[in-house]
Amino acid sequence: MYGKAVRTSAMVQAYRADTENAGAGPQPVSRFRAMRRKLTSDPGIWRRGILLALCSVLLTVVLVLHSDIPNTIGNTGSLIETFLPWFGLFVPVLLILGLLRRSATAVIALVLPVAVWLNLFGGLLFADKSGAGGDLTVATHNVNAGNPDPAGTAQQVAGSGADILALQELPSGKVEAYEDALADRYPHHSVQGTVGLWSKYPVTDSSPVDIKLGWTRAMSATVTTPRGPVKVYVAHLPSVRVKLNAGFTANQRDDSADALGEAIADEPVERVVLLGDLNGTMNDRSLNAVTAQMRSTQGAAGDGFGFSWPASFPMARIDQIMVRGVEPRASWTLPATDSDHLPIAARVQW
């Protein structure tokens, strides 16, 4: 009893001393001591929040091993990879829950997913990789088949100053409207099926590219620029859907991606540019046939994530500009049009 009384008296004296010093200005040492006393006097601060800490570990595992998550059930792996950057939003949620639980264990465990997320995406979020110069400006846009103002959309994207412009989802009844709107800026063009290419420089060898759909949604053409020829591919891979009974329905897109990758791999021209709506992100392993042999201009020379879809609240970059044999100098998104996608543009250098 006597020992407890002595300890209680000592604690009261320490509290009074801290209280008396409070009016004299900041007391870092006193605050540190108070924090230390709280931590040592409340052992539950370490025992609480174990479940939250395990959630942080699970989040870390998903971020680190996303490429190993199987696609056998509903293409779960591809679905997670499509929206992988957004998994970072779980961190502030877990932080708030950890603070509400007053759990040091839960808060400290967040160091793991934060470190991994920054390693994966910190360079995109905080670094502007764009540079000056460039020999060629290219742009691409899924204009949306139901676009109510084809001419306005075409002129708006052409206003970016692109030397080469690719458009996807061109309905046959509206192709003429796009051709008329772009005729003054782009004297050379070719339309194959529902995709088209407009250029300030001569376009030759234009032909469809078979991506295993039964109708034409991809093409290639040679554009002869002042710095030499470049092979331009325009592609619109099949759409994907998330269904409760089927998961991520991306099998048709995956087959088309493999066919497109094979065509590009067989391309003998050194300089190649791919413009289009791939309906997938660079993280999605199902696009490896394409991404393994080309560079993303956004990843190499972009500023931020460059999300392009949906235009009203962009959540993923499924529209891509990829290159082989040329150097990306800058990549950016363009202002919204009447489409549900944002246009994107890039500058490349020989």
Categorize the per-residue pLDDT at 17 as very low, low, confident or very high, splitting at 50, 70 and 90.
Answer: low
Half-sphere exposure in the Cβ direction for 243 (13 Å, CA): 8
Q: What's the farthest any 2 CA atoms get from each other in the chain?
A: 98
Q: For 222-247, how does the pLDDT look when each residue is reduced to its tens digit (9 = 90+)? A: 999 999 999 999 999 999 887 766 56
- Summarised one tens digit per residue, pLDDT across range 253-286 is 999 999 999 999 999 999 999 999 999 999 999 9
Q: Which residues touch 205 (CB under 8 Å, ≥6 apart)?
A: 220, 221, 222
Segment 175-184 mean pLDDT: 97
**Reported confidence tier of residue 30, pLDDT bands at 50, 70, 90:** confident
Say if residue 202 is preceded by a cis peptide, omega within 30 of 0.
no
Q: What was the pLDDT predicted at 144? A: 97
Residue 125 pLDDT: 83
Structural domains of the chain, ranges and CATH numbers in brackets: 1-41 (no CATH), 44-127 (no CATH), 136-349 (3.60.10.10)
What is the model's pLDDT at position 18?
A: 54
Q: Is the pLDDT of residue 12 over 60?
A: no
pLDDT digits (tens, 9 = 90+) for 182-222: 999 999 999 999 999 999 999 999 999 999 999 999 999 99
Percent of the chain scoring above 70 in pLDDT: 87
**Predicted confidence band at 26 (pLDDT cuts at 50, 70, 90)?**
low
> In the numeric block, which tokens belong to residue 61?
């595992």
On the question of pLDDT at 75 being above 60, the answer is yes
Average pLDDT, the chain: 90
5 pLDDT band, cuts 50/70/90, is: very low
CB 240 within 8 A of CB 283: no
pLDDT at 40 over 90: no
32 falls in which pLDDT band (50, 70, 90)? low
Share of the chain above pLDDT 90, in %: 78
